[in-house]
Amino acid sequence: TQLLEQSPQFLSIQEGENLTVYCNSSSVFSSLQWYRQEPGEGPVLLVTVVTGGEVKKLKRLTFQFGDARKDSSLHITAAQPGDTGLYLCAYQGAQKLVFGQGTRLTINP
Amino acid sequence: EAEVAQSPRYKITEKSQAVAFWCDPISGHATLYWYRQILGQGPELLVQFQDESVVDDSQLPKDRFSAERLKGVDSTLKIQPAELGDSAMYLCASSLEALNEQYFGPGTRLTVT
């Protein structure tokens, strides 16, 4: 099983600030997925990135897949308290979905 | 909008007791998954069903955990006996078919005392 390393593990910032979180590996992936998990709930798929160098935007969230398809980043512009949650990256292996350990993001009003 | 249902949402049990969790997937979804998520980590697959058949239970501690999906619809995950290290969130997910997008339920938070 290939390993996904997410950083930082914890991030606490003020409302309105920008932030970037990372998902890194030494392996090459055909695609990577990003999920957000709110406290007491299951993960919800935000986006799947497929092509090396691909950039996808979801409102204030910008997802990028590395050129070599080994890493991905999530940038949030003007963070809001509603962005608080656990952000997980994952890859679809041959048989199963494999998750990183997540970045726990807290946006303070 | 169709959702994956799980019950109970919270469960506190003493070690050595038996505990069971229930999951009702989105109607028509052939593939059902049980994950365990330890605090501070990402979910880890315990067992995957395709209809009523187990297709992957390589990470299921079979000495104490069992899972079934008898009619290929809802599913039950059982732990007997529970151990302190089993304290975690147990998530159920479903997808139309394997490798399709997975939809997660709200989870059952288990605390073993």
Confidence band, pLDDT 50/70/90 cuts, at residue A96: confident
Of B70, B90, B93, nearest to B20 (Cα)?
B90
Confidence band, pLDDT 50/70/90 cuts, at residue B47: very high
Average pLDDT score, chain A: 94
**Which tokens belong to A33?**
């997925």
Structural domains in chain B, CATH included, are 5-98 (2.60.40.10)
- Nearest-angstrom CA–CA distance, B27 and B11: 26
Q: How far is B81 from chain A (nearest CA, A)?
A: 25
Q: Which of B40, B56, B91 sits opposite A42 (nearest CB)?
A: B91
Our measurement of the distance from residue B57's CA atom to the centroid of its chain's CA atoms, rounded to an integer in Å, reads 11
Residues 6+ apart with CB under 8 A from A8: A21, A103
Give A90's contacts in chain B (Cβ within 8 Å): 42
Does the N-terminal peptide bond of residue B106 adopt cis geometry, omega within 30 degrees of 0?
no
Q: To probe the interface with A, which of B99, B100, B111 has the most A CB atoms within 10 Å?
A: B99
The fraction of chain B above a pLDDT of 70, given in percent, is 100
Q: Which of B9, B98, B104 sits opposite A43 (nearest CB)?
A: B104
Average pLDDT score, chain B: 95
Mean pLDDT, rounded, for B35-47: 95
The three-state DSSP-derived secondary structure of chain B is CCCCEEECCEEEECCCCCEEEEEECCCCCCEEEEEEECCCCCCEEEEEEECCEEEECCCCCCCCEEEECCCCCCEEEEECCCCHHHCEEEEEEEECCCCCCCEECCCEEEEEC
pLDDT in tens, B78-101: 999 999 999 999 999 999 988 889
Mean pLDDT, rounded, for B33-59: 95
Does residue A21 surpass a pLDDT of 80?
A: yes
The CATH number of the domain covering residues in A5-108: 2.60.40.10
DSSP A38: -
